[in-house]
Structure formats: C-alpha cells, structure tokens
Structure 1
Amino acid sequence: MKQRITTGLLAGAFYLVLLCIGSLPFTLLAAAIAVISYLELVKMGKMNVAFPEVIFGGLAVAALVLNAGRSSFLADGLWMRMTALFVLLMLTLMILRRSAFTFANAAYLFLSVFYIGIPFYLLVRLRLDSLLLVLLVQVLIWTTDSGAYFVGRKFGKRKLAPVISPNKTREGSIGAVIIAVLIALLFKWIAGPALALAWPTLIGISLVISVFGQIGDLVESAIKRYYNIKDSGTILPGHGGMLDRFDSLIFVLPLLYVLGFIV
C-alpha cells in the first residue's frame, strides 16, 4: 500500500504539472503514455513488440496524438488517408510475413491503435480547449475510482461483475457515481464562471464520466481476464501499467466527443 501511495503521488504530481503547462510538453507526455499503453495491449495479445507491424502501429498511435494540434484532423482528409494507409500496410505485412502475421493479428493491431490513439488525441484536444474542463474530467475519473474502492470496501455486498472483476460491488459503483456528482458541484462552485457549464449540463457530464468510466475499467478487466493477466504492465509500481491507470479515460473521452463536449 505504501508503494502504491508513493507511486500515485509522484506520478500524479508529474502528470498534473505537465497538464497545467499544456502545449508541447503535455502533448509529448500524452503521446508517450499512449504508445506505452498500446505496447502493453500488444503484449497482452502475445505479440512481439519488436515486430515491424507492431512498431508501425506504435508510430501510428504517436502520429495520431501528436496531430491533435490540427483543429480539423478528425474531419479532414488526412484522417482518412492515415486510416486507409494503415489498413493497407497491415494487410500487406500479412502477405509478406505469411503465417507469422495473420489477419487476426492485423485486426487486433488495428483496433489497438484506435482504441488507444483516439482517446489520447482527444485528451490533448480537450487540454488545448480548456484546462478547467480537462481537470474536471480527470478529477471525476479519479474520484470515481477512489469512491468505488472505499465505498465498496465499507458497504459492498453485491458483486457488480463477478466474472470480470470479482472485487467490484454494486454499492461501490453507485456510491462512486454519487460522490462524483458531488465533487463536480464542488468543482463548479470553486471554479465559478470560469467553468462555462450550466449546472444541469455539469451534472449530466459527471454522470456520463462516472458511469462510463467504470464501464471502461471493466472493459480493460475483461481483456486482462481473457488473456489471464493481472496487470497490463509494471511501469507504475503498485499500480500496474499505464493502461491500468487510463482505462476509464480511454473509454470516456470518445463518448464525450460523440456527445459534443469535445470538438
């Protein structure tokens, strides 16, 4: 527990400092976290990170995040060209490497690139648009994670998803949502007019972040359960891998984009 707390404080402080600085330093950090998360996902799938197709995938993730400064990247032709090029490259490597790289491998890498790349692209976009909003999203995700843990330990009786994540409880999940909404209201009260969100919108966003952040956590747990892995990596002592720490954010940000909260 001591190691977990120490790692959390140090890594969290470093992340928040660069988040507040924003611009290129945070973009580079987001790209690094994204590539590490992608490589962790590749390792889960029992693929060698030194294989050329895996390296190309990592470069695609980095390029996607580093292009967050382009205001219309998701909508313009560059996005489609990049996607088409990556698909063709994966299929070509399937021929060149024959049985060493299958269609299933290509599909796994393709999904991994965009499962990881798009959320971190959106994270940088959100930071460019509003420091307060990205802080709100991050704080609510952390609050939900901690709230579910502590409420679950104190009051948890009924399992939320026993096959996927046996330690999570329904009471912890509901408590986490309630705490997240309360923290969102407190955040708005402290930020004042600087956080340009109406109170009903704020409550709606906090519900989306807390509920679907927990779903994102369960999604990663399901992947780990399928591959019989406890943690996605070991880069954060006491916490596991980068994917373990950002699984909720990875799921929430694309949803906020679809709902129009990120442009």
Structure 2
Amino acid sequence: MLMLRVTTATVLLVIFCLTIALGPLAFAGVMAICFGAVLFEWLRMGGLGPVPAALVAAVEMITQFSLYWAGALPRMEWFLWLVNGCVMVAWAVIFFAELFHRENGFKVSVRTCLLTAVTFVPSAYLSLLYLFEIGDWVMVLSVLLIVWGADISAYFSGRAWGKHKMAPAISPNKTWEGALGAYVIVIIFFLLTYWFCAQKNVFTNFIFDELGFFWGVVVLAGMVALSIAGDLWESMLKRLVGIKDSSNLLPGHGGFFDRMDATLPVLPAATWIVLTVVLLG
C-alpha cells in the first residue's frame, strides 16, 4: 500500500510540474479536471447520481476555465473578494460548529451538502488561478505548503504526543496535540522562510511585508485552522454516508476530495487576504 501511495503521489507531482512548464492554460486545464473531480465526489456524497453529478461538475469547471481563458480574471477582483470573503466566513462557521459538536457530530442536510459543493469548489479553483496569475507557481506552492505542512506536522505530532481527541465523533485520529504541533511547526517554518528567502511572490513573505509580524502570524494560524476545518468537514460527510474514501480515482489515496479537502478553505482565504491588501491597502 505504501508503495502504491508513493507511486501515485510521484505521478501527480510529475503531472503538476509538467503543467506548470507547459504554461498557464495547461495548468488551468489540468487543475480544472482535478477540482472537477473533487466537485463530482462531493456531489455524489450529497446523493446526486453519477450522471447529474458529472454534468454539474463539468458545466461548473468548464465555465470557470473559460473565464480564465477569456482573460476575465483581472476584471473579477472585486467579485472574487466578495465571494471569497463570504466563503471564508462560511468555513469559519463550519469550523466552530465542528468543534462545538465534536463529541456527537451533527447532521448535514442534502441541500447544505450540495450548496457548499457548488460554491466552495469553484471558489477554490478561481482562487488558485488568481494566485497563479499574480505570483506564478511560487505563490501557489507557498499557499499549498501551509496545508501540506500543517497536515504532515499534525500527523507526526499526534503520533508522538497525541492524547486528547479533537473531534472524536468526526475524526477520531485527530488530537489537540497534533493541531498544536501543526501551528508551531508551520509558523516557525514560514518565519524562517521569511528571514532566509527574499522572494516577494512567496505568500507568507507577502503577508509579513504587508501586515507585519503579529498579523502575519495571526493569518497563518487562521489558515491552519481553516485547513483543519476542511479536513474535518470531509471526514464528517464520509461518516454520514458511511464511506471510507470519496472515490478510488487515486490508487492508494482514495479520491481527489480526500487529497484536497484541507486545501479548499485555504485557497479562497489566501486570495481574499491578497485582494484585501491590493484593493483596500
């Protein structure tokens, strides 16, 4: 199983690098397929049949990709700022609801499941494209590293010191010690990045330059919290429908939703912060 997971991850990394090398449209097209797969899996969890789910996912992602292809993204900054602000607030509410119901979980209606799917996934996709547009792959990778760093740090910190369950009714393996480890390690890593890396298109360098040390740390902590919210949200949806993985599209990893759940809240939040500085700063 480990070899299968490593092989799949390696193939995905190669594809990711190739799409960046081939140019913005190739990157946007491949990412549209990935986010479309996330949306398809999410809609299936909401009870939509495979054909309607595939049609909705295809229409939404083709529409978003077409907007990017037409060069509309620079003229959508205020729209993205407004939508991503609402999405970020919604994810924050979800996070507090997850913590409040951590002992017994809570039900999610079909309407809520479907509405969040068709709103959150396109928002994350357009946010990814906007970050790529203004800061190239470095900006995108620096945002994704917040998610990946938090996930890896939480896993190893939880394995080493985890005793107190964070949300036992939603995701029994997550612990407060793991979350604390994620916060500490991610913040230290990006502080060191800021001190030793002068590139302005690194997301965390941008927020430390524009917002200062204190608010930069606050933003980082908030984004780690949002990544946890996305992870818990998918875990809860899977528990409600009684499945282990969102699909089997990625051998050894489950589905695209399984791999990108924590990314979905973080990308809109990062874009909203950048747009707030650009538009209102």
Asked if these proteins are the same fold (TM beyond 0.5), I'd say yes
Flag the 1:171–1:110 CA change in 2: closer, same or farther, 3 A. closer
Cα RMSD of the aligned pairs, angstroms, is 2.7
Q: SS state of the match for residue 142, structure 2? A: helix
Q: Which residue identity is paired with 2:134?
A: D
Residues matched between the structures, number: 237
Contact 2:130 2:271 in 1 (8 A): no
Q: SS state of the match for residue 6, structure 1? A: helix
- How many Å separate the matches in 2 of 1:208 and 1:13? 30
**Deviation for aligned residue 1:261:** 4.8
Identity over aligned pairs, percent? 29
- How many Å separate the matches in 1 of 2:273 and 2:246? 29
Aligned to 1:128: 133
- How many Å separate the matches in 2 of 1:8 and 1:170? 28
Q: SS state of the match for residue 73, structure 1? A: helix
1:197-216 matches, cutoff 5 A: 197=206, 198=209, 200=213, 202-216=216-230
Flag the 1:217–1:31 CA change in 2: closer, same or farther, 3 A. same
Contact 1:64 1:118 in 2 (8 A): no
1:207-226 matches, cutoff 5 A: 207-226=221-240
Q: SS state of the match for residue 166, structure 1? A: strand
**Deviation for aligned residue 1:168:** 0.7
Q: Which residue identity is paired with 1:188?
A: Y
- How many Å separate the matches in 1 of 2:111 and 2:181? 40
Contact 1:61 1:116 in 2 (8 A): no
Deviations 1:237-263 (A, max 9, x none): 121111111111111122233434577
TM-score when normalising by structure 1: 0.79
Greater relative contact order (Cα 8 A, min sep 6): structure 1 or 2?
2
Tell me which structure has the larger Cα radius of gyration. Answer: 1
Query: Structure 1 regions of 5+ residues with no counterpart?
Result: 81-103
Query: Structure 2 regions of 5+ residues with no counterpart?
Result: 84-108
TM-score when normalising by structure 2: 0.75
- In the alignment, structure 1 residue 247 sits paired with structure 2 residue 261: yes
Aligned to 1:18: 19
Aligned to 1:5: 6
Q: Which residue identity is paired with 1:194?
A: K
